[in-house]
Chain A
Amino acid sequence: DVKVTQSSRYLVKRTGEKVFLECVQDMDHENMFWYRQDPGLGLRLIYFSYDVKMKEKGDIPEGYSVSREKKERFSLILESASTNQTSMYLCASRPRRTGYEQYFGPGTRLTVT
C-alpha cells in the first residue's frame, strides 16, 4: 500500500513565524504536490516537484516556498505566516507516468493567529 505521511495533523502558529510542513512518501514516486483546501474553493495547487531539487509553481505559490532534497520528502515552507494562510494543507505523490492516480496524505490543518 502506498503511504503518504504528513508531519502534523494540527498546527497552530503565530503571525510572522516560519512554518515547515513535511511530507514523506514510501513508494519511490517522482512527482509530489502541495495543495491547500478551503471550503467552496476545492483544492488549489501551491507547488509541485517532479524530481529531486526540481520544483514548479502551481496556481497559488505566493507566500510559500518548497524544498525537495530527497526523493521521498517534500517540504512546504511559509517564510512568514499570515492569517490568510490558515487552511488545510494536503500533500500528494504519484509516479511520473500518465494515468496514475495521486495518493494523498491525511492533511495538516494549520491555524495562524
Chain B
Amino acid sequence: GEDVEQSLFLSVREGDSSVINCTYTDSSSTYLYWYKQEPGAGLQLLTYIFSNMDMKQDQRLTVLLNKKDKHLSLRIADTQTGDSAIYFCAETLIYNTDKLIFGTGTRLQVFP
C-alpha cells in the first residue's frame, strides 16, 4: 500500500544541522520530493530526487535516499530561524504519476 510517514516535530538550535526523516512503503516510487510550508502559506518545492539517485545536494540542503530501507532524509546545514516551517516529503509512483502521496509533515522549530 501507499504510506509515507514522518515524525511530527523537530526542534534545533540556530546554526546546528537539522535532519528530517521520512519513510515510505511503496517501492515503485519515481520521484521523491521535499516541500516547505511557511506559516499561513501554501507548499513550496524545496528539492526533489529521482528514485535511481542516492544523494542530491543543493546549497544548504542535502537529500539522502536509501531505497533498500525505503528511507528519505533532508539535511539542512546551518539552520536559520527562517527555516522554521512544516516540511513534507512526498512521492509519485510509477503506475500513477499524476498523484503525489504526502507524508504527515514535520514541524521544524529553530530557536536562538
Residues on A close to B: CB < 8 A?
4, 31, 33, 35, 40-45, 48, 50, 56, 58, 90, 92, 96, 98-99, 101-107
Contact = CB atoms under 8 A, between A and B. Distances in A.
Contacts of B80: none
Interface in B48-80: 48, 50
A51 B92 CA distance: 19
B42 to A, nearest CB: 4
Given A42-B102, A99-B30, 12 more contacts: A33-B100, A40-B104, A43-B105, A45-B99, A45-B100, A48-B99, A90-B42, A92-B42, A96-B98, A98-B92, A105-B42, A107-B42
Given A41-B104, A42-B102, A107 B45 contact: no
A66 to B, nearest CB: 15
Interface residues of B, number: 25
B88 A106 contact: no
For the complex of A and B, list the 6 residue pairs with the smallest distance between their C-beta atoms, beginning with the closest.
A104-B42, A42-B104, A43-B102, A98-B97, A104-B43, A101-B45
B98 A50 contact: yes
30 contacts: A4-B42, A31-B98, A33-B100, A35-B102, A40-B8, A41-B104, A42-B6, A42-B102, A42-B104, A43-B88, A44-B102, A45-B99, A45-B100, A50-B98, A90-B43, A96-B98, A98-B30, A98-B31, A98-B97, A101-B33, A101-B48, A102-B43, A104-B35, A104-B43, A104-B44, A105-B42, A106-B40, A106-B42, A107-B40, A107-B41
Contacts of B102: 35, 42-44
Contacts of B99: 45, 48, 58
Most buried by B among A48, A56, A90, A99: A99
B44 A42 contact: no
A102 B31 CA distance: 12
A24 B30 CA distance: 28
Contacts of B50: 99
Contacts of A33: 100
Nearest to A99: B31
Contacts of B103: 42
